[in-house]
Amino acid sequence: MKVLANDGISQTGKEALEQGGFEVITTTVAQEQLANYINENKIDVILVRSATTVRKDLIDACPSIKIIGRGGVGMDNIDVDYAKSKGLHVINTPASSSHSVAELVFGHFYGLARFLHNSNRDMPLEGDANFGKLKKAYAKGVELKGKTLGVLGFGRIGQATAKVALGAGMKVIAFDPFMEKANLELDFFDGQKVNFEIKTISKEDVLKQADFITLHVPAQKEYVIGAPEFEIMKKGVFIANAARGGVVDELALVKAIESGKVAGAALDVFENEPKPEMQLLMNSCLSLTPHTGAATNEAQDRIGTELAEQIISILK
């Protein structure tokens, strides 16, 4: 049987599939040529990340496909219900990248809080001539310890991010319409474990109380954070979106930054991906990454291995 990993797969995942008797193809086929390639090569399994889409037309055009796999959490790029109605298995790896996303969020938060995203650019350019000026410009950083993190969406990734926050000495509050509370267990290097119970509260209360806000929600028709939400936030709040482009109103975000309501924001995803708006790219109060939330070696190994285990279980 043949597996097409069109957006790539880790070496560990590839080896696990090969040991299970599968031929793994890692050629990246252009979207418009995908149906022909799948049919010509009689592909049984197609694996994607976020670049390749598997819509109704592709599903109808490729009768050999038995499994559609998404390396990651969200499956916005797959017509899941339609695929299942046709008898296909649709799988993903919801737990594999949670900690990677959580660490990226905090990388952004620490960078924003101490202006690292700007000083790392300014020091090579002006560090020799304007050291004192730069020192003064970046002298009003804030600490995360003792601050309140508000988590919007308290699933696996939201909870993983909350664990990092607790480890950093932050208070955690959360909103999730489908969850009343969650028990978080922090594991430490010496085997010690500490448990926290986080009870969810209203979205409005999270927005009012939080010093830092992070979103971990699926793609939605309406903005999760728009102009009305910015209005009720604390002045000087920090925000991170490593969930989905379109859950934050980017125009309203820029206005909130200009007004001083938002001190800084981190975006790993964008409304117009892969071509973010220039006003975002040029804004000094934004810390930006090109959708790399799950892009760690460790996460990709976990994703590849988990996909391989599921595929072998289904087809073998």
Say how far apart CA 71 and CA 93 lie, in whole Å.
6
Concerning whether 291 is annotated as a catalytic residue, the answer is: yes
Say how far apart CA 198 and CA 172 lie, in whole Å.
7
* Closest by Cα among 161, 54, 48 to 97: 161
Whose tokens are 């460790």? That residue is: 298
Choose the catalytic residue: 99, 108, 216, 291: 291
Burial class (CB within 10 angstroms; exposed 0-12, middle 13-18, buried 19+) of 250: buried
Asked if 48 and 303 touch (Cβ cutoff 8 Å), the reply is no
Choose the catalytic residue: 15, 103, 271, 273: 273
Choose the catalytic residue: 108, 216, 244, 302: 244
Say how far apart CA 17 and CA 11 lie, in whole Å.
10
Concerning whether 108 is annotated as a catalytic residue, the answer is: no
Asked if 104 and 242 touch (Cβ cutoff 8 Å), the reply is yes
Concerning whether 216 is annotated as a catalytic residue, the answer is: no
Known catalytic residues are: 244, 273, 291
